Chains A and B, each alone.
Chain A
Amino acid sequence: MTAGIPEENTLGIVVGNAARAVSKTAKRLGRAGARPSLGSQFLALGADLLVVLRAVYGLSWFVALWPTYPVPGAAASAWAVLVLVIVATAIASRVGGDTMPTWMFALVLTGIAATVVLDIVAVWELHDLGRTLTAATAAGAALLLVVTQRGATELLISAGVLGLVLAVAMFINTPPGTPFDADHLAPQLAAIAFAVLPAVIGVTVVHGYRRMVQLELDRVLVQSNVSAPRYAVGMLASEELARLDLAAERLLDSIATKKTALPLTPKTASIAASLATELRLHLIEGRRETWLYHAVSESELLGRSVTLVDKSALAGLLDAAQRDGLLSAAWMLVGDTRKKAAQNRSITLQLGPLAPTETPRTDHKIIVPITITSTGIRRNRVDPSIWAALGRVGRYSDSTENGSLRVDIEAAVDNPADV
Chain B
Amino acid sequence: MELIAKERDRVLQRGARVYGLGFTLVSALCFLLPGAAPDTSTLALGGLLYLVLAGAQLMLGVSRNPAWAVLTLAAGLGILLLETGVGSRDLGTGALTAMQLLVAGSLASVAIVLTGSVWRIIGLWVAFGAVMTSALLLITPATQAPLRTAGLVLLGWILAAGIGLWVTAGVPQVSKRIASIGRAHRAERQASELEAQRRQSARLLHDTVLATLTLLAHSGVGVTPQALREQAAEDARLLRQLRLGSTPTPQASGSYQLESGGEPEPVLGRTLESVKQRFGRMGLKVNWHGTGQVLLPSEVLDAFLLALAECLENVRRHSGVTEAHVTITDDETTVRAMVTDAGVGFDIADIDEAKLGFAESVVARLRDVGGNARLFSSPGAGTTVVLEVPR
Other-chain residue from A221, A282, A284 in contact with B360 (beta carbon distance below 8 A):
A284
Contacts of B243 in A (CB 8 A): 242, 245-246, 249
B85 at the interface (CB under 8 A from A): no
Contacts of A221 in B (CB 8 A): 181-182, 185
A203 (CB) vs chain B CBs: closest residue: B18
Report if A49 contacts B (CB, 8 A): yes
User: Does B26 lie within 8 Å of A263, measured CB to CB?
Assistant: no
- With the chains together, A191 CA to B218 CA distance in Å? 79
In whole angstroms, how far apart are the Cα atoms of A57 and B236 in the complex?
A: 74
In the assembled complex, which residues on chain B have CB atoms less than 8 Å from the CB atom of A180? Answer: 33-34
Known A-B contacts A43-B166, A235-B192, A252-B212; the reply to A272 vs B8 at CB < 8 A is no
Q: Name which residue of chain A comes closest to B365, CB basis.
A: A284
Residue A219, interface by CB 8 Å = yes
Q: Which residues of B contact A193 (CB under 8 A)?
A: 22-23, 26, 101, 105
A354 within 8 A of partner (CB):
no
Q: How far is the CB of B45 from chain A (nearest CB, A)?
A: 17
Q: Does A220 sit at the interface, judged by CB under 8 A? A: yes
Complex interface: stretch among B48-56, B170-178, B255-263, B264-272: B170-178
A263 & B35 in contact (Cβ 8 Å cutoff) = no
Within 8 A of B (CB), among A1-40: 22, 25, 29, 36, 38-39
A181 with B221: in contact, given A186-B98, A193-B23, A284-B364 (CB under 8 Å)? no
Q: Return the chain A residue nearest B241 by Cβ.
A: A249
Whether A184 and B94, one on each chain, are in contact in the complex, defined by CB atoms closer than 8 angstroms, is yes
Q: Is the CB of B199 within 8 A of A245?
A: yes
Task: Pick from A53, A193, A241 the residue with the most CB of B within 10 Å.
Answer: A193
Answer yes or no: B88 CB below 8 A from chain A CBs. Answer: no
Q: Are A239 and B192 in contact (CB under 8 A)?
A: yes
A38-B174 contact in complex given A189-B29, A205-B167, C-beta closer than 8 Å: yes
Chain B residue at smallest Cβ distance from A294: B189
Task: List residues of B (15-48) whose CB comes within 8 Å of A's CBs.
Answer: 15, 18-19, 22-23, 26, 29-31, 33-36
Query: Given known contacts A181-B94, A208-B14, is B36 in contact with A186 (CB within 8 Å)?
Result: yes
- Give the nearest-CB partner of B357 in chain A: A280
B200 within 8 A of A: yes
Beta-carbon contact of A233 and B240 below 8 Å:
no
- State the total of A-B contacts with C-beta under 8 angstroms: 275
A337 to B3 CA separation, bound complex (whole angstroms) = 13
Selected contact of B239 from candidates A237, A245, A385, CB within 8 Å: A245
Tally of contact residues, A, Cβ under 8 A: 95
Binds B, one of A165-173, A223-231, A372-380: A223-231
Q: Which residues of B contact A50 (CB under 8 A)?
A: 159, 162-163
A183 B94 Cβ-Cβ under 8 A: yes
Main secondary structure of the interface of B (DSSP, over half): helix
A232 — which chain B residues lie within 8 A by C-beta?
193
Check A253 for interface membership: any CB of B closer than 8 A.
Answer: yes
List, in ascending order, chain A residues with CB within 8 A of B365's CB: 284
- Of the stretches B136-144, B226-234, B287-295, B346-354, the one at the interface is B226-234
**Chain A positions 254 through 273: 1 when the CB is less than 8 Å from some CB of chain B, otherwise 0:** 01111000111110111011
Interface check A160, CB cutoff 8 A = no
Query: Does B97 lie at the interface of the complex (its beta carbon under 8 Å from any beta carbon of A)?
Result: yes
Select B174's contact among A25, A39, A255, A270, beta carbons within 8 Å: A39
Task: Specify which of A46, A233, A253, A275 is in contact with B166 (CB 8 Å cutoff).
Answer: A46
Asked if residues A238 and B192 are in contact (CB atoms below 8 Å), the reply is yes
Q: How far is the CA of A270 from the CA of B196 in the complex (A)?
A: 26
Q: Does A318 contact B (CB under 8 A)?
A: no
Q: Is the CB of B155 within 8 A of A208?
A: no
Question: Are B196 and A215 closer than 8 Å at their CB atoms?
Answer: no
B92 within 8 A of A: yes
Contact B94 A233 (CB under 8 A): no
Contact code string B342-371 (vs A, CB < 8 Å = 1, else 0): 000000000000000000110011000000
| Residue pair A269, B217 in contact (C-beta under 8 Å) | yes
B120 at the interface (CB under 8 A from A): no
Q: Can you pick out 22 interface pairs between chain A and chain B where the beta carbons lie within 8 Å of each other?
A: A182-B94, A186-B30, A186-B93, A190-B97, A197-B105, A211-B7, A212-B10, A220-B182, A233-B196, A237-B196, A251-B216, A263-B219, A273-B217, A276-B213, A276-B217, A279-B206, A280-B210, A280-B361, A284-B360, A284-B364, A286-B200, A335-B3
